[in-house]
Amino acid sequence: MTPPDQVLPDQHAVRRLANAIRMLSVDAVETAKSGHPGLPMGMADVATVLFSRFLNFDAARPDWPDRDRFVLSAGHGSMLLYSLLWLTGYPEITIEDLKHFRKVGSPTAGHPEHGDLPGIETTTGPLGQGISNAVGMALAERILNARFGDDLVNHKTYVIASDGDLMEGISHEAIGLAGNLKLSNLIVLWDNNNITIDGALSLSSHTDQLERFESEGWAVDSCDGLDAADIFRALQKAQNADRPVLIACRTIIGFGMPGRQGTQKAHSDAPGADVVAGTRKELDWPYEPFVVPDDILNEWRAIGTTGAKVCDAWAGRKAQSKQAREFDDTINDVIPASLSPALVKLKEQLSTERPKAGTRKMSEKALDVINAELQNTVGGSADLTPSNNTRTKGLIEISPGNYNGRYIHYGIREHGMAAAMNGMALHGGIIPYGGTFLVFSDYCRPSIRLAALMGIRVVFVMTHDSIGVGEDGPTHQPVEHLAALRAIPNLKVFRPADGVETAECWELALRDTTSPSLIAFSRQDVPTLRVQHTAENLSAKGAYELEGDADAKVTFLATGTEVSMAVEARAKLAAEGIPSRVVSMPSWTLFEEQPEDYRRKVLGPGTVKVAIEAAVRQGWDRYIGSELLGTAGAFVGMHSFGASGPYKDVYAKFGISADAAVAAAKRLLEK
């Protein structure tokens, strides 16, 4: 007798189940008068075979750590996911939510948003991001498997990706990374429908995706995405691959929508009453909108519970495991209590030894402590390891087929790195950090933005944070980046001034479970400014008075490497008998969260303000006043791109110095 898991699915039965997805999607889009019916209708059969025969999940326990992950990379097809979640009986989602698709306050947003409903593994919509998150999820699974073994961690990551997902540049980085790392637990189902919004795919692409993926080290296959047995065959074959798998599923967009199927009109045009009625007929679905007959719904609900036994067996194994406690702490990303005292000790040491070094080197020192205290930090760099100082002593590197390590060579793939880091954080059990130059934050900005939107703990390490880069010149010198990054809601941006602030900012980043953090570090040396040891994390308030006179007439506001310039400026003013203060602002984001009276006090009411930052002025007016209204302080910083040369000469060329700050202060005092 054929074992049950080998029995071919029945085409008619699969089609009936799949038609529930199709009609729910059409009804929801029609009700919302917007949305994308084309993908759910084209890929409904593929999704049905996947969910009913392969995906290991228990709808009642969506946070089961060893579940297979399902990523709908083509987030515009959100109704496919919402239909599946409701049909299989996930908690929280109701039929009312489907009826309120794309309405304010409903968890069924236009594109799937992680955190809105259990079962949405990541936020998708910007094409290419989901497949790249999935690479991170698959990698996280392998890393945790190496640590905890097959009994506790052994699952797959499935992705549905569209033509657009595979055309976006980020997919190149992601598939290269996955192929090189031989992530055999990753299976991508490509909706090979030959159509995009503008029309035939051939208008814009002739890529042979199978050859492309194969050349990146993937196994490839194709199937008829409307033939249950063929889908089953391809997925079955993919189960034991020794590398990631791409399955090209030939489908017809909007399958079942008369007059629309197979054309770009199926992508997102509102169907209208006639087309909806025609679709009901075509799919032999004589039920009212949003009604799924009991026999079909029961079958779907049964699919939602088939994983329960596997989930129970897993729980049993975990209960028996010597690593049970460690596993729970890891998957819950618990930060051990020992971290804070260890970092306080480092701060004390730095305050005593007072090193003069680039904050990137200070970051390495902090990471030395952090990586020894935490087991779940996984570092990496986009091919700038020696410059980003991200690899600490004893961090073993991950290599193709060998995941027993904690350091990833992402290659020159900043965008892919950032998206993979998001995927690792979403998977759980890993706190990812990864480095590149701050100027290349632009190359990963869409993923940084999504990390912020999702509110996940990812730490972006961005070194070479100003014109202090020096000789490499303006292509490598960020000027507008801090302003641009500070503009992203829920992104914690840090720019520490010395080793002590660096340790503090790292701790704040690691302890923040609802925001990603980006820490900007310098290439050039800075002195230790925090020479008076405090156990308290002074950076936690975002800005604080570093030093100052009670009768100060001037307040210098600065971040990062320019704080030492502010300190120098204060000394110069003191020599002339002018009292002043220095405020270090390692994080505007955190400063903005403080009570108003604290903020006002720190900014120094009644003093003239001089801000110093080797970056554009944008945003500083909030703290120094408005030039237009005649209430402005002075800004010493950049007004253009930088220049190539030794960094001290570059600072001089652009007039960023303690003397410039002093002159600005005096000018303001004379007004």
Ligand X SMILES: Cc1ncc(C[n+]2csc(CCOP(=O)(O)OP(=O)(O)O)c2C)c(N)n1
The catalytic site residues sit at: 414
Interface residues for ligand X in 325-384 (CB under 6 A)? Answer: none
The residue (of 21 and 565) whose beta carbon lies closer to ligand X is: 21
Q: Do the strands 245-250 and 608-616 form a parallel or antiparallel pair, or are they unpaired?
A: unpaired
The residue (of 179 and 262) whose beta carbon lies closer to ligand X is: 262
Residue 126 touches which member of Mg ion, ligand X, none, C-beta under 5-8 Å by kind? ligand X
Q: How far is the CB of 39 from ligand X (least distance, A)?
A: 4
Select from 40, 164, 379, 434 the one that contacts ligand X (CB under 6 A). Answer: 164
Site size toward ligand X (CB under 6 A) is 18
Give the integer Cα–Cα distance in Å for 55 and 68: 6
Q: Do the strands 245-250 and 219-224 form a parallel or antiparallel pair, or are they unpaired?
A: parallel
* Residue 274: Cβ within 10 Å count: 10
Give the orientation angle of helix 324-331 with respect to helix 308-320, to 10 degrees. Answer: 120
* Segments of 456-528 assigned E as strands: 459-463, 492-494, 517-520, 525-526
- What amino acid occupies position 394? G
- What amino acid occupies position 119? G
Site size toward Mg ion (CB under 5 A) is 4
Q: Which stretch binds Mg ion (CB under 5 A): 103-111, 191-199, 386-394, 432-440?
A: 191-199
Give the integer Cα–Cα distance in Å for 18 and 49: 9
Q: Which helix (H) or strand (E) holds 183?
A: none
Helices (H), 194-293: 209-215, 228-238, 265-268, 272-282
253 near ligand X, judged by CB under 6 A: yes
Taking CB atoms, the residue at the shortest distance from Mg ion is 163
Beta bridge partners of 493: 518
The residue (of 17 and 44) whose beta carbon lies closer to Mg ion is: 44
Q: How far is the CB of 246 from ligand X (least distance, A)?
A: 15
Give the integer Cα–Cα distance in Å for 603 and 120: 43
Phi-psi group of 14: left, alpha or beta (phi > 0 → left; psi -120 to 50 → alpha; rest → beta) = alpha
127 near ligand X, judged by CB under 6 A: yes
CB neighbour list of residue 299: distance below 8 Å, 6 or more residues apart: 17
The residue (of 124 and 539) whose beta carbon lies closer to ligand X is: 124
Interface residues for ligand X in 208-247 (CB under 6 A)? Answer: none
Q: How far is the CB of 161 from ligand X (least distance, A)?
A: 8
> Of 405, 77, 118, which is closest to residue 266 (Cα–Cα)?
77
The residue (of 162 and 607) whose beta carbon lies closer to Mg ion is: 162
Give the integer Cα–Cα distance in Å for 435 and 21: 42
Select from 19, 48, 123, 193 the one that contacts ligand X (CB under 6 A). Answer: 193
Q: How far is the CB of 120 from ligand X (least distance, A)?
A: 16
Select from 31, 48, 132, 193 the one that contacts Mg ion (CB under 5 A). Answer: 193
The residue (of 127 and 421) whose beta carbon lies closer to ligand X is: 127
Beta bridge partners of 460: 434, 518
- What amino acid occupies position 365? K
The residue (of 264 and 388) whose beta carbon lies closer to Mg ion is: 264
Tokens representing 289 are 């909108």
Q: Which stretch binds Mg ion (CB under 5 A): 66-74, 188-196, 316-324, 390-398?
A: 188-196
Interface residues for Mg ion in 342-401 (CB under 5 A)? Answer: none
Give the integer Cα–Cα distance in Å for 200 and 258: 18
Residues 270, 273, 274, 275: what is their CA dihedral angle, to the nearest 10 degrees? 40
Q: How far is the CB of 406 from ligand X (least distance, A)?
A: 31
Tokens representing 516 are 């990603």
Select from 45, 66, 113, 163 the one that contacts Mg ion (CB under 5 A). Answer: 163
The residue (of 112 and 358) whose beta carbon lies closer to ligand X is: 112
Residue 125 touches which member of ligand X, Mg ion, none, C-beta under 5-8 Å by kind? ligand X
Q: How far is the CB of 575 from ligand X (least distance, A)?
A: 56
Give the integer Cα–Cα distance in Å for 505 and 495: 8
252 near ligand X, judged by CB under 6 A: no
Interface residues for ligand X in 96-125 (CB under 6 A)? Answer: 125
Select from 74, 85, 247, 369 the one that contacts ligand X (CB under 6 A). Answer: 74
Residue 267 touches which member of ligand X, Mg ion, none, C-beta under 5-8 Å by kind? ligand X
Select from 141, 163, 562, 613 the one that contacts ligand X (CB under 6 A). Answer: 163
Interface residues for Mg ion in 195-234 (CB under 5 A)? Answer: 195
Interface residues for ligand X in 548-577 (CB under 6 A)? Answer: none
* Segments of 521-654 assigned E as strands: 525-526, 544-548, 554-558, 580-584, 608-616, 634-638
Q: How far is the CB of 197 from ligand X (least distance, A)?
A: 5
* Residue 643: Cβ within 10 Å count: 14
* Binding interface with ligand X (CB under 6 A): 38-39, 74, 76, 125-127, 162-164, 168, 191, 193, 195-197, 253, 267
Interface residues toward Mg ion, by CB under 5 A: 162-163, 193, 195
